[in-house]
A and B are shown apart, each in its own frame.
Chain A
């Protein structure tokens, strides 16, 4: 419990703001949280006390300190994300076991080990609430979203076992007769093991003779612990031919590389970088068994306003180029020799990749097509009768005469109006129907964009987003500075674990139902999530609603089954099971929520809403929902106290700060310098982020770099926390900044940059000099480890204090007021409080 304000040196929250009406006093501190609070940990001095060197806020500095202090709230007194993160880290020392129903896992920011004891690891599934309300009335009252963020093919750390593969023989996996749920630990064996009762729908199903096993005295099957499907939360089934398209076992998938060779692509160096890299990258195509060659076949296409296919059959002395200029009605001009095995055709492929940059070195063609490019890949996969992935390297708005031709419609005037939503919608319907065809064939599209101007990401992204693909965007791509980022992204993308032609279905126990889905996929009905491609980074967020009552006794069960074709061409089913508790007391709900997951859900929900509603409406409804959540808590769970006090549930105390970050994001509240393409890009990117990524995206990690031992404790994302004499690392999952204070010590600069002078630091460097001192080494290690944690490579940007580039950096100091008009944390908290009070009165 902290009393009073610490002396304020600076750090104003808007000097013109008057006294908060009804804001009774200081933030009441942790004792008022609904949950039994842990002993208030003394905040580390770095956080508690403001650095004497901290940059004075420009607005604040010219006002007398005393005058302001009355209206100011101590930023250290409001809930601190860093505090929560650090507390959770300290708490989670034991491995997290999934056997206990309704237990919330450690936060995503915490390093922990998972032991699968019957529920899926939080790496696969995270829920917004681990104790769901029993009735829909309760759920409505609380307004807490009930959702699960599922990452079906998530990569596990090396010390955790990947899901086992189970083969139930020719008959295929054992399933419930009625709801078709797959065999899992929630199936109750009865009648001596001859039948089992489904945990989801309670239907009783005969156990097939080959699967029969006796039960022990507790009613468990004797072989319970020998069978992953009876004892684990996540496992895989080998699918039979019944689970395959056209009742035919699938062919191994294919990768097709489609490279834009128009003037801009060649000039920026993209073409030669891609061709050069592919020569080695093709040896790292995904494979199940690292000892054998990949069975993935490859094909190559280049294009500008016509398409060039290449025959790289192993028997050819030199590659053959087949030009298709009739783009209005795309077809694949060759069958044999287009998709080849890398090892067999190595010579021809290398010769081709050597020649492509040369062939187009003098091109003057600036126009490109895009629709026919996807069609070409799709047709090639159709002809080869396999699923696969298209890697499209594209530069410009496709204005050449062809299906899917686009026009420039970037219109900044529409921002903030009711018509803003149209900018997020595709400008033609062509890509929607093309996406549908792609999904039917299992053709996943990954798009690498290298734009110099508006390319209409909102439209170009339709196919990648609907096919489970990814979009990468390298605006103003320059070979020198962006090469590393692009190549690392490409390498990771090519090598990562990926499944094709996937269908995901989430089954739940009676009482709740999966009603809404968010992510990169296509749905042709209300239950099946179809993914042409599903890789280890893709996440699907599922929202549940009540359609009946749940019982506290049985809890709520969910089973996510993903049917997919592995990179070796095997048809498999990946099953993730999750059981959560159910409660009839709202307090139980508020004790078991996970704010990071709620924010993930809210952001996806909001970012999808911008397609249909004005951003203002979307922001307002977000604020409103959060206010309701918190008001409900205050009303029903918090101990009676002064109405002026803001009381937050313990596990939701960060909801306001995080929500504010979502509201301030470029998608919902863009600054003047944010392009329409950037917004569309981010919108699509967020839609398939997992909780870890969305967390760091909305609340970036800011590390003070001062010592060279253990990983330093992060500081809050506010300018106040930056010391003029320090160096800070900030990462968002997409960006990585190294901020250098103007008064940074010479020793520090020498250690990091090899120069004692602040002015000599080159702000254009993208990697730190390799210096032989422990500090430099450690810093580079930290940077590397950050990069390794993220699915996209982050380019390092060195930001010198008071440099022009600092504006970009400040954008990520999310607790501060933003240039685009976003509120500071404190302001928003006050606003939130006001809203809650309004709801309560």
Chain B
């Protein structure tokens, strides 16, 4: 047998699953004693270019409460053409199309290497492929320069869309305008007050989208729902028109008096976008892409008044219960998120402003629908432009790397139940035999809706071992979990991806070593971190830290405690929401970087090497490259920066210095190119103001308090009162010992 690290890597590679424990304790009692629950990070759309799509429907267990998909773990009686469900032990007849199977002629779903398999649901000829719908919701209250950049980005995006994709445009400022597309000679738009929320039905009437209900025939000949309307039309038909329309977009013309914020009807604009899709394309994959240049200042969903003298809420205000719009706005956006997600629609938020825009209130829109949340200073930055462009990245088949309107269903063996999920999903409230009463995250269900998925979207799923202490190790010795993800592929196809995975049971009393050895420290760390973040979002801050401290673990938690995911100090509420959003959806590797940034050192002493995230790593003759996921930072040590200023890199005899300077830049570029959202790129040096990003991350092993105790030559002291890892560990040890006593 391979080592556990190999096993874990292989499983992740094949199924996109990482469990905190790869051997499960066999009883509830023992499992609770393990502190870290049995849990998994699951990436439903893990890129598997090698996976052949299966062109038929999956075979389901006939038990109504089970409906598990036939998988390699099932016992098959080839002679009787029967298979036994490995979850409920129901014996099922194979469908007639499987009449030809035998030991040597097995369908793919029975082969062990297809523990993950993807079915393409066949549709009748009368059901056309689902169009992709992209609805742009554009703020016009911004500086001309920003608006220009945004317009260009949007125009560019039209060329990236497949010609059959439907696009729509809603602009807003003081009013909300829904633009009719493809009008000749005159441009038409429907205008709505920015202060009045409308239900989907009202909106439908006001936009004249009511279908002639009389002609709604029954039977198979029923009229097809129109695949486009005046507001959402295929790119190929209206791209010229829309390009012009975007080109003519003007800054919101209503005057903004001195000392006021522009009136921005973001809440109503989003509501109208949701409503428009709700009444035209329910249960069809669609993206509402919201471009926000500032906070909503009027109507439902407003987060700050229009008086500039009252600043937008800070953490301080929130703690003092002084953020008067927050609750109402959050409620508004939560309702929108709920409506969008129940129709399978994604809401993306691209917020580009120097000040906060209300991401805190709006976060649920992206978080519940699997939408993107991007935060930048301006639309005129490469951060926004490239991130936005990367949304439209395509895979080798030329399809977007995005999936729509997915549902994730989990089936478990009897001994284990699912407690909940943390990630960009909402509950579908599907009760079933495998739902645990114990909720963690979004629980109480075995099905979740994930409106937007990309290959890196990762959900954390928490399980509970329910086997009683004295019950024997379950039959077969393995516990199995099946993930069934149904989604709309970017090509318009409906697909089902099934991942079935199993782990051994072990008696914690007798086989504690093997359980311990199966511990996946990284996965566990992220899983616990997600839990901590989830709690931080829903509970009071200090309590979460205390809970975390009671729970756990070493170095990692040291950084987690210091990370913006839990610490709100120095972060605006919007920033916290943004960081947490990203943390909750990225895969394990990225999440690890977010918690514990990676630091590389470049020097003449040898090839680039990873170094400790510690102030002692900051040396004058080094160049450091730090990747925090959100930032890529190049830091030139004191000496190096002096050399650079002196211009040695220009001189032919110092070519090696030029190479040294170039190496981290090249590496950074590589990271920049693969990362979504695009990180902030910082090039700084010793004493530079932006060096603070590095200094705030490293372990302050040397501070102004203890710098003289340590050697002068090693590293740079950090001016902070934060405790260093050393102190933290000492304290932790003391606690561990005392609590054991």
Chain A residues with CB under 8 Å of chain B are 306, 309, 316-326, 329, 331, 333-337, 351-352, 355, 359
Is B196 touching A318 in the complex (CB atoms < 8 A)?
no
Is B208 touching A325 in the complex (CB atoms < 8 A)?
yes
Min CB–CB distance A96 → chain B (angstroms): 55
Is A325 touching B175 in the complex (CB atoms < 8 A)?
no
Q: Taking the complex as formed, is B185 at the interface, i.e. its CB lies under 8 A from any CB of chain A?
A: yes
In Å, the complex CA distance between A714 and B186 comes to: 56
Min CB–CB distance A69 → chain B (angstroms): 74
Contacts of A322 in B (CB 8 A): 177, 188-191
- What are 13 of the A-B contact pairs (CB < 8 Å)? A316-B248, A322-B189, A325-B190, A331-B175, A331-B193, A333-B177, A334-B175, A334-B253, A335-B253, A336-B253, A337-B253, A352-B186, A355-B186
Q: Taking the complex as formed, is B254 at the interface, i.e. its CB lies under 8 A from any CB of chain A?
A: yes
Please provide the chain B residues from 152 to 197 with a CB less than 8 Å away from any CB of chain A in the complex.
175, 177, 183, 185-193, 196
Min CB–CB distance B403 → chain A (angstroms): 35
Contacts of A320 in B (CB 8 A): 186-189
In Å, the complex CA distance between A433 and B188 comes to: 32
Is B187 touching A321 in the complex (CB atoms < 8 A)?
yes
Q: Taking the complex as formed, is B353 at the interface, i.e. its CB lies under 8 A from any CB of chain A?
A: no
Given contacts A306-B206, A333-B175, A335-B254, contact A326 B198 (CB under 8 A): yes
Closest to B174 in A: A335
Closest to A359 in B: B186
Is B193 touching A318 in the complex (CB atoms < 8 A)?
no
Q: Taking the complex as formed, is B207 at the interface, i.e. its CB lies under 8 A from any CB of chain A?
A: yes
Contacts of A318 in B (CB 8 A): 185-187
Is A325 touching B207 in the complex (CB atoms < 8 A)?
yes
Q: Taking the complex as formed, is B205 at the interface, i.e. its CB lies under 8 A from any CB of chain A?
A: yes
In Å, the complex CA distance between A329 and B193 comes to: 9
In Å, the complex CA distance between A355 and B186 comes to: 8
Given contacts A325-B207, A326-B198, contact A333 B187 (CB under 8 A): no
Contacts of B255 in A (CB 8 A): 335
Q: Select the residue from B188, B191, B207 with max chain A CB neighbours within 10 A.
A: B191
Chain B residues with CB under 8 Å of chain A are 175, 177, 183, 185-193, 196, 198, 205-208, 248, 253-255
Given contacts A306-B206, A335-B253, contact A323 B185 (CB under 8 A): no
In Å, the complex CA distance between A351 and B254 comes to: 25
9 extra interface residue pairs, beta carbon distance < 8 Å, beyond A317-B248, A322-B189, A355-B186: A320-B189, A321-B186, A322-B188, A322-B190, A324-B192, A326-B193, A329-B196, A334-B253, A355-B185
Contacts of B177 in A (CB 8 A): 322, 333
Is B254 touching A326 in the complex (CB atoms < 8 A)?
no
In Å, the complex CA distance between A359 and B184 comes to: 10
Contacts of A337 in B (CB 8 A): 253
Min CB–CB distance B556 → chain A (angstroms): 54
Contacts of B206 in A (CB 8 A): 306, 325-326
In Å, the complex CA distance between A351 and B184 comes to: 12
Min CB–CB distance B250 → chain A (angstroms): 8
Contacts of A321 in B (CB 8 A): 183, 186-189
Contacts of A329 in B (CB 8 A): 193, 196
Which listed residue, B190, B193, B248, touches A323 by the CB 8 Å rule? B190
Is B193 touching A351 in the complex (CB atoms < 8 A)?
no
Is B191 touching A323 in the complex (CB atoms < 8 A)?
yes
Given contacts A333-B175, A334-B253, A336-B253, contact A326 B196 (CB under 8 A): yes
Q: Select the residue from A318, A326, A336 with max chain B CB neighbours within 10 A.
A: A326
In Å, the complex CA distance between A317 and B177 comes to: 19
Q: Nearest 3 CB-CB pairs, A to B? A: A333-B191, A325-B206, A336-B253
Closest to A351 in B: B185
Closest to A317 in B: B248
Contacts of B175 in A (CB 8 A): 331, 333-334
Contacts of B189 in A (CB 8 A): 320-323
Q: Interface on chain B toward A: helix, strand, loop, or mixed SS?
A: mixed
Contacts of B188 in A (CB 8 A): 320-323
Closest to A311 in B: B187
Min CB–CB distance B275 → chain A (angstroms): 13
Contacts of A331 in B (CB 8 A): 175, 193
Is B185 touching A326 in the complex (CB atoms < 8 A)?
no
Min CB–CB distance A160 → chain B (angstroms): 47
Contacts of A317 in B (CB 8 A): 248
Contacts of B191 in A (CB 8 A): 309, 322-324, 333-334
Q: Select the residue from B189, B198, B205, B207 with max chain A CB neighbours within 10 A.
A: B189
Min CB–CB distance B257 → chain A (angstroms): 13
Closest to A356 in B: B186
Contacts of A335 in B (CB 8 A): 253-255
Given contacts A329-B196, A335-B253, contact A324 B190 (CB under 8 A): yes
In Å, the complex CA distance between A334 and B175 comes to: 8
Closest to B254 in A: A335
In Å, the complex CA distance between A375 and B205 comes to: 21
Closest to B177 in A: A322
In Å, the complex CA distance between A316 and B187 comes to: 11
Min CB–CB distance A684 → chain B (angstroms): 34
Contacts of A324 in B (CB 8 A): 190-192
Contacts of A352 in B (CB 8 A): 186
Min CB–CB distance B444 → chain A (angstroms): 39
Contacts of A306 in B (CB 8 A): 206, 208
In Å, the complex CA distance between A253 and B537 comes to: 56
Q: Select the residue from A309, A320, A337, A351 with max chain B CB neighbours within 10 A.
A: A320
Is A326 touching B192 in the complex (CB atoms < 8 A)?
yes
In Å, the complex CA distance between A72 and B255 comes to: 79
Contacts of A326 in B (CB 8 A): 192-193, 196, 198, 206
In Å, the complex CA distance between A324 and B187 comes to: 14
Is A319 touching B186 in the complex (CB atoms < 8 A)?
yes
In Å, the complex CA distance between A319 and B185 comes to: 8
In Å, the complex CA distance between A337 and B183 comes to: 20
In Å, the complex CA distance between A499 and B306 comes to: 38
In Å, the complex CA distance between A226 and B198 comes to: 67
Closest to B206 in A: A325
Min CB–CB distance A698 → chain B (angstroms): 49
In Å, the complex CA distance between A320 and B186 comes to: 5
Contacts of B187 in A (CB 8 A): 318-321
In Å, the complex CA distance between A322 and B171 comes to: 12
In Å, the complex CA distance between A388 and B206 comes to: 29
In Å, the complex CA distance between A320 and B188 comes to: 6
In Å, the complex CA distance between A325 and B272 comes to: 13
In Å, the complex CA distance between A323 and B189 comes to: 6
In Å, the complex CA distance between A794 and B562 comes to: 88
Min CB–CB distance B141 → chain A (angstroms): 14
Closest to A336 in B: B253
In Å, the complex CA distance between A336 and B250 comes to: 11
Contacts of B205 in A (CB 8 A): 325
In Å, the complex CA distance between A318 and B247 comes to: 13
Min CB–CB distance B709 → chain A (angstroms): 68
Min CB–CB distance A106 → chain B (angstroms): 56
In Å, the complex CA distance between A316 and B244 comes to: 12
In Å, the complex CA distance between A707 and B189 comes to: 63
Contacts of A336 in B (CB 8 A): 253
Min CB–CB distance B185 → chain A (angstroms): 5
Closest to B194 in A: A331
Min CB–CB distance B265 → chain A (angstroms): 12
Contacts of B186 in A (CB 8 A): 318-321, 351-352, 355, 359
Closest to A308 in B: B188
In Å, the complex CA distance between A335 and B252 comes to: 10
In Å, the complex CA distance between A319 and B183 comes to: 11
In Å, the complex CA distance between A435 and B196 comes to: 25
In Å, the complex CA distance between A621 and B205 comes to: 54
Contacts of A351 in B (CB 8 A): 185-186
Q: Select the residue from A317, A324, A352 with max chain B CB neighbours within 10 A.
A: A324
In Å, the complex CA distance between A326 and B198 comes to: 10
Contacts of B208 in A (CB 8 A): 306, 325
Closest to B176 in A: A333
Contacts of A355 in B (CB 8 A): 185-186
Contacts of B196 in A (CB 8 A): 326, 329
Min CB–CB distance A512 → chain B (angstroms): 51
